[in-house]
């Protein structure tokens, strides 16, 4: 079951990413949005500014992503991206397909997590949203 808010958010996220315009993405993010895995790393983002800066760095580095699939859940949107232009780096190749789960609360994205496998993203999308600070 999906909610009208989640359907609208999915459309707005698709528009923002298709255009590559971070000004369209910013208003969709909660000021305290978190992006990253459960563990803290140098790449973990802790607020809207961090997330927009991270996407901006990826754009500046020539990374592009095209949405190839969208799944709307009650409290989440799962976007599947086909990614091009990534640095392969010393840790080996990064996946060319990434599934990002955008967790929703009060009409905004509060949490973003990426998964290399669709099945993991779908399980995560069905889990209740994380508690907000």
57-67 pLDDT tens trace:
988 888 888 99
Q: Are the CB atoms for 83 and 67 separated by under 8 Å? A: no
Domain boundaries, the chain: 4-126
Q: Are the CB atoms for 60 and 41 separated by under 8 Å? A: no
Round to whole Å and give the CA distance between 22 and 71.
Answer: 22
Going by C-alpha positions, the residue among 64, 113, 106 that lies closest to residue 84 is: 64
7-48 pLDDT tens trace:
999 999 999 999 999 999 999 999 999 998 777 888 899 999
DSSP secondary structure code for residue 45 in this structure: B
The matching CATH number, chosen from 3.40.190.10, 3.10.450.50, 3.30.70.260, 3.30.365.10, for 4-126 is 3.10.450.50
């Amino acid at each position: 079951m999906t909610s009208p808010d989640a359907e609208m958010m999915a459309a707005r996220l698709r528009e923002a990413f298709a255009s590559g315009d971070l000004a369209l993405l910013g208003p969709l993010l909660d000021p305290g949005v978190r992006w990253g895995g459960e563990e803290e790393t140098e790449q973990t983002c802790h607020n809207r500014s961090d997330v927009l800066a991270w996407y901006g760095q990826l754009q500046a580095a020539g990374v592009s992503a095209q949405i190839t699939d969208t799944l709307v859940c009650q409290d989440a949107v799962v976007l599947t991206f086909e990614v091009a232009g990534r640095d392969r780096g010393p840790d080996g190749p990064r996946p060319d397909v990434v599934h990002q789960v955008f967790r929703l609360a009060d009409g905004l994205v509060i949490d973003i997590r990426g998964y290399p496998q669709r099945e993991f993203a779908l399980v995560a999308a069905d889990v209740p949203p994380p508690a907000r600070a």
